[in-house]
Amino acid sequence: MKRIMTVQDISCVGKCSLTVALPIISAAGVECGVLPTAVLSTHTAFPKFTFRDLTDEIEPISNTLKELDIGFDAIYTGYLGSERQLALVDKFFEDFKGENTLIVIDPVMADNGVLYKGFTEKFAASMAKLCSKADLIIPNLTEASFMLGIEYNPDYNEDYVRYVLKKLTELGAKRAALTGISLKNGEIGVYYYDSTTDSYYSYFNEYLPVSYHGTGDIYASATLGALMRGMSYEDSLSLATDFTLECMKYTLADENRRFYGVNFEEALPFYISRIPMPAK
Ligand code: PXL
């Protein structure tokens, strides 16, 4: 069985970061180690929240795992809260990157043209540097724009999306997938570029005129789970697109839905049904 390590915060309530990565990656049949970078009462879209930084724990935890000779088939990072954390995660990559260890970075920091609370353009530039180490990065167009230091352009066309993807891989990441891309009315999905083969791939599904928190984390977790189960990059990204849509449909159908996250739990059987089963 594959084992991965995911490095991101844990928000006690809010359905994002570790509270979605752990169940989704486990549902894929992959052991999910967790390195919590901070504990928050909720994610930062709530009107108030506590924030306990755990940066000082990262090094002792990684040193001890290293001494125990514990390795990982992938390292997946999500929401990281400071430049110091980026530096420690960089060191974590160096310490744990084996020949076949996949590095997947979701550079969580912005959406709809604006940075989330607490993030700066300087942080975005440092995140871009970390992304140079990745086998796959999964930003949205806002995050990609901040990392490239270009203006966010919501009126994009296909040529522009391809240009951004190429620029992202020129930062050093082998592959880049842009999420939330819509080139036709009524459709939304992913556009992907693999610099190792100089090839593009895109996949779209139904656009729903709603926006829910945490779907980026769900998307990245579902992609990683599928990749670890031997699915191709293209198939993993497509499955994550379909799964995220299912999560949103279950949420819309629930008259008691929470305002802060999606009903991903109800869509897990759909996700599992599309993952190749292991041999016994
Ligand atoms: O979903 C991304 C995310 C993760 N973790 C925390 C957040 C956010 C987005 O706002 O606040 C703490």
What average pLDDT does this structure show over 195-199? 98
The pLDDT, as a whole number, for residue 85 is: 97
- Tell me if 279 is assigned to some domain: no
**Given strand 175-181, what is the order of strands in its sheet?**
51-53, 31-42, 3-13, 74-77, 102-105, 136-137, 175-181, 187-194, 199-206
Report d(CA 215, CA 119) in Å as an integer: 19
Give the long-range contacts of residues 249-255, CB within 8 A, separation 24 or more. 249/208, 251/212, 252/208, 252/210
Work out which ligand 1 atom sits closest to the CA atom of 17. Answer: 4
- Residue 130, domain CATH: 3.40.1190.20
Work out which ligand 1 atom sits closest to the CA atom of 11. Answer: 12
Tell me how far the alpha carbon of residue 278 lies from the centroid of ligand 1, in angstroms: 32
- Tell me if 154 is assigned to some domain: yes
- pTM, full prediction: 0.98
Q: How confident is the model at residue 279 (pLDDT cuts 50, 70, 90)?
A: confident
Query: What's the domain count of the chain?
Result: 1
In which element (H, E) is residue 10 found?
A: strand 3-13
- CB 9 near ligand 1, within 6 Å: yes
Average pLDDT along the chain: 97
Structure tokens at 71: 């390795």
Q: Which residue is closest in CA terms to ligand 1's atom 8?
A: 43
Q: ∠ CA 267-268-271 to the nearest 5 degrees?
A: 95
Report d(CA 79, CA 117) in Å as an integer: 12
* Beta strands at 31-42 and 3-13: parallel, antiparallel or unpaired: parallel
The sign of the torsion formed by the CA atoms of 152, 158, 160, 161 equals positive
Segment 223-245, tens digit of pLDDT: 999 999 999 999 999 999 999 99
- Tell me if 61 is assigned to some domain: yes
Q: ∠ CA 237-242-245 to the nearest 5 degrees?
A: 125
CB contact at 8 A, 219 and 138: yes
Work out which ligand 1 atom sits closest to the CA atom of 38. Answer: 12
Half-sphere CA count of 216, side-chain side, radius 13 A: 25
Segment 159-190, tens digit of pLDDT: 999 999 999 999 999 999 999 999 999 999 99
Segment 25-70, tens digit of pLDDT: 999 999 999 999 999 999 999 999 999 999 999 999 999 999 999 9
Q: How confident is the model at residue 209 (pLDDT cuts 50, 70, 90)?
A: very high
- Tell me if 130 is assigned to some domain: yes
Q: What percent of the chain has pLDDT over 90?
A: 97
Q: Which residue is closest in CA terms to ligand 1's atom 1?
A: 214
The pLDDT, as a whole number, for residue 277 is: 85
What average pLDDT does this structure show over 142-163? 98
What average pLDDT does this structure show over 4-14? 98
- CB 119 near ligand 1, within 6 Å: no
Pocket test for ligand 1, best of 13, 19, 24, 44 (most atoms within 8 A of CB): 44
Segment 266-277, tens digit of pLDDT: 999 999 999 998
- CB 15 near ligand 1, within 6 Å: no
- Tell me if 118 is assigned to some domain: yes
- Tell me if 280 is assigned to some domain: no
Q: Which domain holds residue 78?
A: 3-273
- CB 116 near ligand 1, within 6 Å: yes
Q: How confident is the model at residue 137 (pLDDT cuts 50, 70, 90)?
A: very high
Does residue 278 surpass a pLDDT of 90? no
Tell me how far the alpha carbon of residue 45 lies from the centroid of ligand 1, in angstroms: 8
- Tell me if 76 is assigned to some domain: yes
What is the DSSP code (8-state) at residue 136?
E
Q: What percent of the chain has pLDDT over 70?
A: 100
Q: How confident is the model at residue 134 (pLDDT cuts 50, 70, 90)?
A: very high
